[in-house]
Amino acid sequence: MAKEAEPTPGSGDADAVRRSTKSDWQLLRSLWPYVRPYRYWLLSALLATAITGVLGLGFPWILGTLVDSALDPSNGDLSRSAVILIAIFAGQAIFTSIRIRTLAYAGQHVVNNVRSALFNRMVRFPIAFLDARTSGALSSRLISDAAFVYGSASGAAPQIVYSGITVIGGAILILIIDPVLALLVLVAVPIAAFIASHYGQRMRKLSRGYQNGLATTNALAQESLSGARVVKWFGAEREVARIYHRRLQGVIEQGLQRARLKARWTPTMMFLASVTIVAVLWFGGSQVQSGTLTAGELVSFLLYSRFVADGLATIVDQYSRLAQGLGASERVIALLDEPTEEVVGGNSEDRNIIQPQQRNGHVELEQVSFTYPGRDALILDNVSFAIEPGSTVALVGPSGAGKSTIAQLIARLYDPQQGTIKVDGVDVRDQSLEDLRQSMGVVPQDAPLLSGTVADNIRLGQPDASREQVAEAAKAANAFDFINGFPYGFGTKVGE
């Protein structure tokens, strides 16, 4: 029977990154480099899953012989059947444990490698790309989408393999036990599975609406609480509470709609399943009476029918989880394929990197015009000037004049639409980005701290700096005494 639908991953901000147009096969190929090192682990997991499935199929058969022996000792040894049953369950327990371990090992490593690769890529994206996206949308690629890929690979895929084995094996075995009775089951079960999948789809749609409704309601609550000052200044407490209540009402309606659908379908499906069981018992029972079927065979038959029905329901249910995982991996892959700064900037294939003869800090702008990507305002209009090595130059102007913009252009966070910028005699577009930025020092207007210690933050641009160098840098910035005043000094934790 269909289970409660889960929320869709990354819904709401799915447009944050363009959707790739890859087929499922191409998607799997793109993920393969991350999966490859763990392929034997995955293969073991698959084998362990298959073995538990096959062992599971032995259970109804042996149970049937046990029932027949119980009714008539001449049918075989009761204790032999019992021992075999225990062996089957022990085997299942062992291989289930192996499956869980191998899958977790491979899955955790694969998802971590994907996350690392993704993050490594993200920090290299052009500023213009990052400007156009919320950090929330991007970090949800790292966290929830990557987790969905993991969930579908480690949860849905093995369940589908297991259920596939029990469905096919169960169908074959009931055909062997009683072909006529088997046809009854094999017609009824797929119909039920079809109805269940239809119900599942409608349920998921309603659940999505419910989740989205809750998310917008929650956004309002978050904004009102983090912007509590504004709410109080404007005396808007009553108004935001009223809007919150109204949005909640909308959510309740969707929640109730979901419950009504469930109230209709769940009992109907349960009733239909029970009727099928009664029909099997009825016809099967009469065959037991006439001696064409043993009681044990009827028991086996009933259990195998259950295997087929449950297995099909699981496949239908888990297939949508697998699809969600594929959707999530599509978003992840699309980001992995997104070009980085170096490529966008154009010093990849067509331009050769030119190393300046010497780094002395000569800066020159020639007729530079610049507009922020996606904006209209011309921020810099035909700007030219040169800064000689060793000189101290201040750019002065009203707020918004474009001073910080010029600094960003020199460090090539953006490229101007017109004109050229040369540092140490070489066009910045011809230089290695890393080398160019390494040659500069920057004190930003707002200096965000990354989470870590004070020393970690000072070392950011030069990770192998010694303690003495860190202290020197702090002294040069007149911050040494200030930092030493903290209880933990340079080891003080900062950031969010």
Cβ 130 to ligand ATP shortest distance, Å: 10
Write the DSSP assignment of 262-276 as a string of letters. HHHHHHHHHHHHHHH
Q: What is the largest CA-CA distance in the chain?
A: 109
Contact region for ligand ATP (CB under 6 A) — 109-117, 291-299, 396-404, 423-431? 396-404
Contact region for Mg ion (CB under 5 A) — 118-126, 205-213, 308-316, 399-407? 399-407
Residue 399 in contact with ligand ATP, rule: CB under 6 A: yes
Contact region for Mg ion (CB under 5 A) — 255-263, 346-354, 400-408, 451-459? 400-408
Contact region for ligand ATP (CB under 6 A) — 85-93, 287-295, 307-315, 402-410? 402-410
Nearest CA to 456 among 442, 441, 474, 437?
474
Residue 222: both structure tokens together = 């978050």
Of the pair 249, 404, the CB lying nearest Mg ion is at 404
Measured N-to-C along each axis, helices 157-177 and 179-226 cross at an angle, to the nearest 10 degrees, of 160
Dist. CA 419–CA 429, nearest whole Å: 11
Dist. CA 88–CA 66, nearest whole Å: 14
Q: Which of 108, 112, 404, 466 binds Mg ion (CB under 5 A)?
A: 404
Residue 442 in contact with Mg ion, rule: CB under 5 A: no
Q: Which of 119, 244, 319, 372 binds ligand ATP (CB under 6 A)?
A: 372
Q: How large is the C-alpha radius of gyration of the chain?
A: 33
Of the pair 313, 406, the CB lying nearest ligand ATP is at 406
Contact region for ligand ATP (CB under 6 A) — 53-61, 65-73, 227-235, 403-411? 403-411
Cβ 404 to ligand ATP shortest distance, Å: 3
CB 291 within 8 A of CB 255: no
Of the pair 95, 129, the CB lying nearest ligand ATP is at 129
Dist. CA 335–CA 346, nearest whole Å: 19
Nearest CA to 156 among 306, 325, 11?
325
Range 227-286, binding ligand ATP (CB under 6 A): none
Select from ligand ATP, Mg ion, none the partner in contact with residue 135, using the beta carbon and a kind-dependent cut-off of 5 to 8 Å. none
**Bridge partner residues of 369 (DSSP):** 418
What's phi and psi for 462, nearest 5 deg?
-145, 80
Dist. CA 445–CA 142, nearest whole Å: 29
Residue 133 in contact with ligand ATP, rule: CB under 6 A: no
CB 380 within 8 A of CB 406: yes
Interface residue list for ligand ATP (CB under 6 A): 131, 372, 375, 379, 397, 399-405, 445
Residues that bind Mg ion (CB under 5 A): 403-404
